[in-house]
Amino acid sequence: MKRLIITLAAGLLLVGAHAYARIRTRSSTRKMVQLTEPKLKGSVTLEEAISRRRSVRQFGTRPVGFTQVGQLAWAGQGITEPVRGLRAAPSAGETYPIALYFALPEGLFVYKPAGHSLEQVLAQDVRGMLASAAGMQEGAARAACDIILAGAVRKVSAKFRSDARKYMYMEAGHIAQNIQLQAVCLNLGSVTIGGFDSREVKKICKLAQGLDPIYMISLGYPADQQKTEDGRTPAVPAPIGPAAGKKAVLIIASDNFRDDELYETKRMLDAAGVQTTIAASRQGIARGMLGNMAQPEVSLNRLRVDDYDAVVFVGGPGAAEYFDSPVALNIARDAAGKRKILAAISIAPTILANANVLTGIRATAFLSERERLQQAGAIYTGNPVERDRFIITGTGGSPRASLDFGRAIADALSGK
């Protein structure tokens, strides 16, 4: 039987284009979304879904509606055997420690398997904050929906004691896999994210004591395959901003990069329409000195300077790994030789000095680097940001200084 789309008169709130589900007030504060019955038949076989599943990190702007959210929630935690209340994913001892939270433009919602409904826990769009807690990873930053798998280990420990945590993590894996495969069947792309600041996510989602974020899934329509309702692929909107169409690579240390020098610089470049890529000496999660994380998309030894209009070295203590790195020094030399915008902040200008591209150039850096720059023939000014033709340097050390540095790069890329 089709579950009814319930509309309770009081407090009813129609949500934009989501014509399939309505939010109703259960109490005076908490709103419920009654989801439509999940579909049990689809046009994609399991084998096709498995073979097509790929981590997708670039999303378009098309929103994901409550119908799709309902289907994804069901795939993760829906009740598939109503007599005993058994769910779509296996659970050690039927303890079901995982709750699913959905971050959407309309707010944050928790899935209630028993009623196949969502309960709104926050009216605020927290996707931006979640992206930040995940180190501004590309996937989480632009996702139509972020799903947080939050676990209550005590639900398992009553039965399984020392194995409880292990079982809870295993269950999160099962649920995430179901959701990713269901996403494929809905033509959605997704990426599972383990690299986030758990304490921050717990705070953002206002999770109760004993409930901890374990895993995140960012999803949406893939940027390169947005379809309109009638199945056509719309023209990809051109990026806007004075430096639209330009490309910059931000090179960070694999460990101990300075967080705001990456995020604030990137923020300024994104705002100017610059397409940014993060690179590091190794792939895998890179950690910032303040505890944030970033996922480099390119490893340094695969980086081709020709692919970019600007090469930017981010600072932080870890950037010293590039002071004597032949690969990094070659990248700096290659970029300078090709008159690309070449930028470095805080201690990273030393990389440019060691690459011998600062001779006779007005440059700045964190004070500790002054002598090294001068020895390399640079004219050290100590100004917060210095631009000499195509070379931009910054002192860094604060979010403000990083923003100014990013702005100078964006200006140079837009021909100012």
Ligand X SMILES: Cc1cc2nc3c(=O)[nH]c(=O)nc-3n(C[C@H](O)[C@H](O)[C@H](O)COP(=O)(O)O)c2cc1C
Which residues are at the interface with ligand X (CB under 6 A)? 54-55, 57, 137, 139, 191-195, 285, 295
For the bound state, the minimum distance from the C-beta of residue 134 to ligand X, rounded and expressed in Å, comes to 7
Task: Print the SS3 string covering 22-62.
Answer: CEEECCCCCEEEECCCCCCCCCCCHHHHHHHCCECCCECCC
**CA distances for 361 relative to 345, 386, 392, angstroms:** 15, 10, 10
Cβ proximity to ligand X, 183 vs 343, nearer residue: 183
Cβ proximity to ligand X, 219 vs 310, nearer residue: 219
| 8 A C-beta contact, residue 380 and residue 364 | yes
For the bound state, the minimum distance from the C-beta of residue 53 to ligand X, rounded and expressed in Å, comes to 7
Cβ proximity to ligand X, 284 vs 337, nearer residue: 284
For the bound state, the minimum distance from the C-beta of residue 1 to ligand X, rounded and expressed in Å, comes to 37
For the bound state, the minimum distance from the C-beta of residue 191 to ligand X, rounded and expressed in Å, comes to 5
Q: What are 197's two structure tokens? A: 């600041």
Cβ proximity to ligand X, 19 vs 50, nearer residue: 50
For the bound state, the minimum distance from the C-beta of residue 111 to ligand X, rounded and expressed in Å, comes to 21
For the bound state, the minimum distance from the C-beta of residue 199 to ligand X, rounded and expressed in Å, comes to 16
Cβ proximity to ligand X, 75 vs 285, nearer residue: 285
C-alpha 56/C-alpha 138 separation (Å) is 10
Packing angle of the helix pair 66-77, 164-185 (nearest 10 deg) = 140
* Residue with token string 């705001």: 260
For the bound state, the minimum distance from the C-beta of residue 289 to ligand X, rounded and expressed in Å, comes to 19
Cβ proximity to ligand X, 54 vs 416, nearer residue: 54
Strand partners, 286: 294
For the bound state, the minimum distance from the C-beta of residue 97 to ligand X, rounded and expressed in Å, comes to 17
Cβ proximity to ligand X, 141 vs 353, nearer residue: 141
Angle, alpha carbons 340-345-346 (nearest 5°): 155
For the bound state, the minimum distance from the C-beta of residue 216 to ligand X, rounded and expressed in Å, comes to 8
For the bound state, the minimum distance from the C-beta of residue 179 to ligand X, rounded and expressed in Å, comes to 13
For the bound state, the minimum distance from the C-beta of residue 50 to ligand X, rounded and expressed in Å, comes to 11
Residue 228's CB is within 10 A of a number of other CB atoms, namely 9
Cβ proximity to ligand X, 293 vs 331, nearer residue: 293
- Is the four-CA dihedral 349, 353, 355, 359 of positive or negative sign? positive
Cβ proximity to ligand X, 141 vs 312, nearer residue: 141
Cβ proximity to ligand X, 143 vs 378, nearer residue: 143
Q: What are 131's two structure tokens? A: 């992206």
Cβ proximity to ligand X, 225 vs 375, nearer residue: 225
